[in-house]
Structure 1
Amino acid sequence: MNPRFSIIIPVYNRPQEVQELLESLILQTRKDFEVIIVEDGSSVRCDTVVDPYRDRLSIQYIYKPNSGPGPSRNVGYQQARGDYFVVFDSDCILPPAYFEAVERGLQESGFDAWGGPDKGHENFTTVQRAMAYTMSSVLTTGGIRGGKKRIGWFQPRSFNMGISRKVFEVTGGFKFDRFAEDIEFSIRMRNQGFNVGLIPDAFVYHKRRTSFGQFYKQVFNFGKGRALIGKVYPQEVKITHWVPALFTLGTLMMLATLLVDVRWFGFLFSGFLFYLLAIFIHAVLTTRSLAVGVLAVPSALIQFFGYGLGFLQERLKSYVRKS
């Protein structure tokens, strides 16, 4: 009997993360799933981590040359036996009732493809919780990414995305190797008439990166990816996606006024500080942690500047190539 869900997890040099994810899968209240680990040419492999779980999970381990997360997920799709294919990033942890929430959502909505939100776990480091807050907060770009107060139609992201077998058979899966490959896939699914949406209760705990330096690289690539999407689907780059870039340029212009008019700089800087104070207060109230609130401020700035610079750099490259 084939499983209801096939879980595909691409991984690159992160064996410890895979272990934590597998531990959370063991605790699932629904057991009708298989697990497919796709090792994307890692130099630090996770096969020794996977082996002890073979008697507790229906699990398959595949090693392949490095080609990026998109093609790696497609390899998993090709091996999947379930009715639905679910992909997670290796740095995710699932709450025990994740698949219960998914099943309810599918029965209620009839989705062909779905995504769910991400949250910070109480056991994450303070830095990880701060990054999780800023990536989901309505005061930053959380409304773009998803959630009950999302902006625009929902585009599932690959840290927590599910599709039906039919969707894969019709679309062929991911087309981009990396950088916004999930956004491109979401747009293509919707353009081909599939019912795509959000299941709010199907959330995961997403660790993301362990330092602000790694976080900057991640959000820089997010901004770059959105600009790449704009090359293929120009209508999918909205004013909301320009917000981090405009924030970055606006901050630079504010600093420039210091050389021209100190009073005007003071006025702009007061508004800047008020915004950061709002982030701090909201983060403290949301996470119930003063430390997370403090770190949410630099995390939000890194998110805006990283995304904005990645977006602007890729857009500039496009203009240079055209000229």
Structure 2
Amino acid sequence: MNRQFSIIIPVYNRPQEIEELLESLTKQDFQDDFEVVIVEDGSENSSEEIINAYTLQLNLTYFYKENSGAGASRNYGMERASGNYFIILDSDVIVPPQYLSEVNKALEEKYTDAFGGPDAAHPNFTALQKAINYSMTSVLTTGGIRGKKKSVGKFQPRSFNLGLSKVAFEKTNGFSKMKAGEDIDLTFRLWENGFETQLIDKAFVYHKRRSTIPQFFKQTFAFGTARPLLNKKYPKTAKVTYWFPSVFIIGIDIALIAALFGYWQLLAFYGVYFTFIFVDALLQNKNLQVALLSVVTTVTQFYGYGLGFLESKFLKK
């Protein structure tokens, strides 16, 4: 099958980030031509000037539209793209030189109408960015399924690094109007329509993510609120494991209260767990600051997702 890749990138008030992404796309070792479609989602801080600087190096198409959210912007770009296979990237990623070659190779070996790729921390990332990446991808946290091929059955691609054929897009109508969890919603509809998904583990991107702890909490809170909505919409996909972050944070609160009355056993259990997080992050990153921050970001992730899940499950109608 002759694949013509169109890379779809929604951007909102992030001109510096889009510049880093475009620069990385100019360094691809992929031999065939590919298109880059950038959809400016009603930004006040426009990226147009930076994008124009890359028109001679890349086959670029730029659109500016009113703000409607990332999902609708991705659909907007796919509707106007010229390729027959779309690669959707977040504006805060950097792609390694071999990215497109690895995608093309994997699809030649095993074609699927959708795929997802892992995320990694670039050596030049800040300590906090590396810690957030650890918490979002480690098998010791809720993020393990995002980048570990052997830990999942049917892979659920995430929108920061996702491929979708034009045929599958036209059949499913792309992303829904959900503000969070829209990529998982798309995956379920792909499966319902008989399309296969896969993880291409060598097609990773460097994902910069949010730059502060409060922003990371807000992001994971949104992920948590989305899950009960997805469970309600697709009852057969609901799993007891989705409750784990909420149970985990409730357990921490109980452990702290129990410790006030002299019962330290439960709190000691959590102490052991976070010691494992620290040691594992230290071994992976060889950096004491990243290891310490990984404990903080893991707690943030559990509380963000867990509280979001509970609010959506019991307080939202």
Normalised by the size of structure 2, how large is the TM-score?
0.96
Aligned equivalents of 1:214, 1:300: Cα separation in 2:
14
Q: Quick one: which amino acid aligns to residue 248 of structure 1?
A: I
The answer for the alignment partner of 1:200 in structure 2 is 201
The answer for the alignment partner of 1:19 in structure 2 is 19
Q: Any conservation in 1 of the 2:259–2:267 contact (CA below 8 Å)?
A: no
The answer for the alignment partner of 1:276 in structure 2 is 274
Aligned equivalents of 1:3, 1:275: Cα separation in 2:
46
Q: CA RMSD in A?
A: 1.4
Q: SS in structure 1 opposite 2:149?
A: coil
The answer for the alignment partner of 1:122 in structure 2 is 123
Aligned equivalents of 2:69, 2:309: Cα separation in 1:
20
The answer for the alignment partner of 2:28 in structure 1 is 28
Moved over 6 A (4+): none
Q: Any conservation in 1 of the 2:118–2:201 contact (CA below 8 Å)?
A: yes
TM-fit CA distance, 1:227:
2.0
Aligned equivalents of 1:191, 1:289: Cα separation in 2:
44
TM-fit CA distance, 1:184:
0.1
The answer for the alignment partner of 2:114 in structure 1 is 113
Q: Quick one: which amino acid aligns to residue 170 of structure 1?
A: K
- Provide, for residues 81-103 of structure 1, a one-character-per-residue CA deviation record: whole Å limited to 9, x for no partner: 11210100100000000011101
Unpaired stretches in structure 2, ≥5 consecutive residues: none
The answer for the alignment partner of 1:293 in structure 2 is 291
Aligned equivalents of 1:49, 1:3: Cα separation in 2:
28
Q: SS in structure 2 opposite 1:149?
A: helix
The answer for the alignment partner of 2:222 in structure 1 is 221
TM-fit CA distance, 1:143:
2.6
Q: SS in structure 1 opposite 2:61?
A: strand
Aligned equivalents of 2:43, 2:245: Cα separation in 1:
33
- Provide, for residues 126-173 of structure 1, a one-character-per-residue CA deviation record: whole Å limited to 9, x for no partner: 100000011000000123334223344210000000011110121111
Q: SS in structure 1 opposite 2:53?
A: helix
Q: Quick one: which amino acid aligns to residue 169 of structure 1?
A: E
Q: SS in structure 2 opposite 1:53?
A: coil
Matches within 5 A, 1:112-261: 112-259=113-260, 261=261
Matches within 5 A, 1:50-69: 50-69=51-70
Pairing 1:89–2:90 present: yes
Aligned equivalents of 1:67, 1:28: Cα separation in 2:
31
Pairing 1:9–2:34 present: no
Q: SS in structure 1 opposite 2:39?
A: strand
Aligned equivalents of 2:145, 2:224: Cα separation in 1:
12
Aligned equivalents of 2:233, 2:200: Cα separation in 1:
27
TM-fit CA distance, 1:3:
7.2
Q: Any conservation in 2 of the 1:113–1:161 contact (CA below 8 Å)?
A: yes
Identity of matched residues, % = 49
Q: SS in structure 2 opposite 1:35?
A: strand
The answer for the alignment partner of 2:312 in structure 1 is 314
Q: 1:77 to 1:190 in 2, by over 3 A?
A: same
Aligned equivalents of 2:50, 2:178: Cα separation in 1:
26
Q: SS in structure 1 opposite 2:62?
A: strand
TM-fit CA distance, 1:174:
0.8
Aligned equivalents of 2:211, 2:144: Cα separation in 1:
24
Q: Any conservation in 2 of the 1:118–1:205 contact (CA below 8 Å)?
A: yes
Aligned equivalents of 1:151, 1:246: Cα separation in 2:
22
Unpaired stretches in structure 1, ≥5 consecutive residues: none
Q: Quick one: which amino acid aligns to residue 6 of structure 1?
A: S
Q: Quick one: which amino acid aligns to residue 41 of structure 1?
A: G
TM-fit CA distance, 1:303:
0.5
Report the number of matched residues: 315
Aligned equivalents of 1:310, 1:152: Cα separation in 2:
25
